[in-house]
Amino acid sequence: MSIQWSEKQQAVIDARGCSVLVSAAAGSGKTAVLVERLIRLLTDEKHPVDIERLLVVTFTNAAAAEMRERIGRGLDQKLLEEPDHTAWIRQKLLLPCAQISTIHSLCLKTIREHFEVLDLDPAFRLGDEAELKLLKSDVAEDVMETYYASENRAFRAFVDRYANGKTDQGIAEMIIALYDYSRGFPWPEYWLKHCLAAYSTDEEHNGADQVKEFAMMQLNNVLTKYLPLFEEARAFCLEPNGVEAYLPVIEDDKKWFQMLGESEDYDGSREILHKIVWKRLPRTAASVDPKIKEKVKEIHADFKSEIEGLRDGYFVHTFEELKAELTYIRPSVRMLIELTEVFGQQFMAVKNDRNMLDFSDLEHYMLQLLADFSEDEQGQMQVKPTSAADELSEFYEEVVCDEYQDSNQVQELILSLLSRERKGQYNRFMVGDVKQSIYRFRLADAAIFMEKYHHYALGESQKTRQRIDLSQNFRSRESVLSGVNYIFRKIMKKSLGGIDYDDQAALYPGMAFPEAKGKNIADNTELLFLKGDGETTEPDDESLDSVELEAKLAAVRIREMTDPEHGMDIYDGALGDYRKAGYKDIVILLRTVTGWAEKFVDVLASENIPSTAEMSAGFFDTLEIRTMLQFLAIVDNPGQDIPLAAVLCSPIAGISSEEMALIRSKHSEGSLFGACMACSEETPGAAKLKKFLAMFHDIRRASVYLELHELIRYIYDRTGYYDYVQALPGGERRKANLDLLRERAVAYAAGSYSSLFDFMRYIEQLKKNQIDFGEAVMPENDKGRVRIMSIHKSKGLEYPIVILAGLGKKFNFQDSISKLVMHAKSGIGLDAVNLQTRKKMTSAYKKFIAARLNLETLAEEQRILYVAMTRAKEKLIMTGMESLKNTDKKLEIWQRNSGILGEVFPDWMLTSARSYLDWIMPAVMNGEAENVVTLRMVDIRALAGREVGRVIDKKWQKEELLQRKHTLSDVSETDVSKRLFGEEGWQYPQKALLSVKGKYSVSELKKYAMEAIMEVEPAPGMALAEKQSETEEALPDFMKDKEVDETHEVSNVGAFRGTAYHRALELIDFAGRPDERDEAWLRSQLNAMTSAGRLSGEQRQSIRIRDIADMVFSNLGLRMAEADRRHELYREAQFVMGVPVSALYPEVDSEETVLIQGIIDAYFEENGELILLDYKTDHVSKQDGADILKKRYKRQLDDYQQALEQMLQKKVRQKLIYSFALKCWIEI
């Protein structure tokens, strides 16, 4: 049965004689259309094209294989119709030769065929990603050693400015990051030159000009946002029971607002911003509606905060000062570029020595083959195609690129050179969807697609360049598409993502689902928002809790949808009929699987729902890989006790803990391997040990002549461990992990080093650099499971039911908060560091680049959301939650934003989003969404109530424990001892040690000291445990009733504020401290921490600026600043030290060692001695507070002193506490 193509699809298939851009929306059947077009080209009766003369570039090897297979099936169908058609037989025979591949496979094939032109050894190999990372690290270290040896003053100054404390590792990371980023451009050296030009103030459109334009745009966005809000605030003030007393303040705000709106230039706006003096909000009458009061107060506070953010962010300097700052930073930028270029040369030399290339080399060698490049007088790059480019472009009849939206600049230039467009023959065919461009981290540039999208003619009016839009979706139900269209009409616009989600971009249903009478088919898209009851408190690990809650919610919906009687019916194309949904029909999509997928698998398993997830890390943490690497370690060197002990206790040897103790007790001196050898010869009964050692010696002898991968295979077979792991839970994956280890050994041995010793060093370096392969990918042989995967992995796939979870997860703005920020058009941004004053400030140009990166991150997050929502065929369910403390406030903001008029949300609202919920909730809380997206508020307690069986079971256990409580309390330790050992039973000789722990925190010891001060005499070691009331129920914490405890709540608030103050003081740039008290500087520091995600919004709100200022601008704060400028201030310093038990408990006669661990708030070095500092937020009275704090914390600071003096071998001269309550330093 032939496929009925839509009009637009047919136009794509038939387009000839011009370059074509196909903008193919999700589910539009682009792959099927592309394959049909290629088959039509091959089988055209008048002008057939040989398949080997078609160049087809795809994004993945899997996509290339699928396309080749589809074309083969199409040709087979043609041959069934006409078996003797010679032209089609020829095409079928040529199919294996077809150039259908990824861009890297194309480059690899082409440069191997032209190796002599490029002066390459054709036997080169592609480097392994992990191997290349380690090589880069080594080369960067070598480059820096060379510069250190040369005593280059500019280099030394650069290191002083940008090194991390006392290590220069951060410099190496900057060099590698800039090198990797530059390789995404056709001419890396030219791009680096462009980066330096931005710091030349005589250049047109230099960095200062860019900052000025961006700052004015940001100011305009703020003014646009508050235009309606001021009117709203004014109306609130004038309402009955309104807050009229606030009206003068709002009018004053509006005055500044109007002045800023009338200013037309940067310096004028800056002057106004720095003149603003805010009026204080007055007291209000008791009759004022508190809700109205809070709304007006919030508008004023938000306007003030955003204006101050602009003032302290983009309008700090005058325009002339901006240019001066660029001039000051320019030498540092020049040095970083120089280091990067030298690194690139040495890295290439090392790769040449190993006859190795990386993927970036493939692209750049391809460019070198295809074109000669030169710079003209205006500094623009000129491209001259080579004879090889002319030859190849003549050979390829059509240049096809699938997933064109994910191309980068290098790939675009390669495909352009392989086409005939420069000769006036338009033979390019590009298909993609800019709304699905989600590989920015691979330097994909959506602007390449958009440039053609806006310039190619829509329809057939243009004969050279034509654009065809495929907007019909042949995948999803209309209910899914309606939800997608509604949300993206609200949030996707050209100013942020490069494209307006208008009628041309919207999705239209093209799939005709059969009538479903009496069936329970999917209805609207669902948004399930988890919220507390207003009193719910959160655990310390909030993220873990939220993940588990969302997983539980997903499990509830999965249970409902897969119920055999009442579950959802879905249409099965293979059956041609409806059937009940099963686990295999469901996918859970996550923005990131790290830290999420494992929790979802565990929670679903607890609900007896089978699931599978592909993990991106964890290879080295698996039992089988740990065991095998330990075995390889002792094959290389048996003298390693820890790996040997692990192998002996593993199933490979089967030695028990008791047997291990016996071996060591007999031979306590020397290595464990020596002890094992001796015991195997002396002890007649050591059969297991003898058997293992005999096998081990065989393997060691074999290691001399076997290749690395052969040795690993031999170990698997000889030990039987490969078969053993298959019997464990997840056995197939475990075997696959062992196979992956052997594959890695094969890849490693292909390099210059191939010995076992080198391989083990390589593995250790991978672990040290936190490079993980991820567990082996399993084929989907078990179809009866819910799949869990990242949104990126789901691209190009489709599923009947999609659960999109984690919508409240915060966006990752990591690119914009690094020491070095990089942008394709604006170049690179560095901090401004004054070596004389040791003051470091984020430069205006770096802030500007960071802001551009944040905007691009937001644009890509919109596209990622679009990909996720368009995977669903029948049903889309979205879940999310906010921090429970913030839920009510967030709901109020979303509700207010939902009332914003207009089909598309304004820029300020879109760019202020920090999670998907910030876009979706305002869209669906509007009454317009009622018929397309169903919003359900899910109470956390109601969700927990789904576990009826568990709740009943828990209640019964509690009642039983209470009934038996008297039995437990009445039985003494003596009674138990007599039952076990008799009246004259064995007595442990060190009974006093039973109550002593192996490790204590300094806080515990402090508490012990405080009890001693209060004349409490606890038993040794037990002083550190909480005393339990005699009347308190002896129940586990999780079974106790939750009751409101106001004292506890106050304590929690105080603890939270203390944590916030400590975090702020850890992050504040003391080196950049102004000489005079400057609370604005401090405020900008805290705001920057919050913007970067290093200080939470709640923490920021709990901090009183004046409290921190009192400490920072004290005399001791000045000493801290001077130490920081010398790189001698250390904060949040962790330590562990060992002390004899008798040092803690004199009454215990033992020299056993216990560990003490703690974190020192701060210390600094001054004249060769140490000054120890601690911050306290305890509420104490001014009258005797100092004495109380001295008594309370003397033990703690004494322990800190002992730890510092032991670690650093330097004397602690002063121990000081800063009391925020007393606003002073107290010497201990």
Residue numbering of the annotated binding site for ATP: 24-31
Q: What angle do CA 743, 747, 752 make, to 5 degrees?
A: 150
How far, in Å, CA of 236 to CA of 1067, rounded?
40
Q: Return the closest-CA partner of residue 237 out of 295, 180, 170, 187.
A: 295
What DSSP string describes 301-326? HHHHHHHHHHHHHTSSS-HHHHHHHH
What DSSP string describes 870-924? TTEEEEEEEEEE--TTTHHHHHHHHHHHHT--SSS--HHHHHT--SHHHHHHHHH
How far, in Å, CA of 772 to CA of 880, rounded?
29
CB neighbours of 172 closer than 8 A, spacing ≥ 6? 137, 140, 141, 144
Q: What angle do CA 402, 405, 406 make, to 5 degrees?
A: 85
Q: Are strands 381-385 and 371-375 parallel, antiparallel or unpaired?
A: antiparallel
- Tokens standing for residue 737: 């992990």
633 DSSP β-pair partners? none
From residue 414, give the alpha-carbon distance in Å to each of 37, 184, 185.
23, 13, 12
How far, in Å, CA of 327 to CA of 324, rounded?
5
| Number of other CB atoms surrounding residue 567 within 10 Å | 16
Backbone phi, then psi, for 31, in 5-degree steps? Answer: -65, -45
Q: Return the closest-CA partner of residue 99 out of 40, 38, 57, 41.
A: 57
From residue 660, give the alpha-carbon distance in Å to each of 632, 642, 648.
20, 12, 8
How far, in Å, CA of 1058 to CA of 303, rounded?
28
381 DSSP β-pair partners? 375
Q: Return the closest-CA partner of residue 34 out of 281, 404, 578.
A: 404
How far, in Å, CA of 549 to CA of 807, rounded?
13
Q: Is 1042 helix (H, G, I), strand (E, B) or coil?
A: coil
Q: Are strands 125-126 and 356-357 parallel, antiparallel or unpaired?
A: parallel
Dihedral through CA 1025, CA 1026, CA 1029, CA 1030, nearest 10? -10
One-letter identity of residue 1113? F
Alpha helices in 704-840 (DSSP H): 708-719, 721-726, 731-749, 756-768, 791-794
| Number of other CB atoms surrounding residue 916 within 10 Å | 26
- Tokens standing for residue 851: 């802001």
Looking up tokens 């489709």, which residue turns up?
Answer: 798
From residue 1183, give the alpha-carbon distance in Å to each of 21, 71, 1186, 1220, 1222.
79, 88, 8, 15, 10
179 and 343 Cβ atoms separated by less than 8 Å: yes
Q: Is 842 helix (H, G, I), strand (E, B) or coil?
A: coil
Backbone phi, then psi, for 472, in 5-degree steps? Answer: -80, 135
Backbone phi, then psi, for 988, in 5-degree steps? Answer: -70, 125
Which residues are annotated as part of the binding site? Answer: 24-31
According to DSSP, residue 976 is labeled H
Write the burial class of residue 1146 (CB in 10 Å: 0-12 exposed, 13-18 middle, 19+ buried): exposed
In the chain, the N- to C-terminal Cα span, in Å, equals 90
Looking up tokens 């931005």, which residue turns up?
Answer: 198
307 and 222 Cβ atoms separated by less than 8 Å: yes
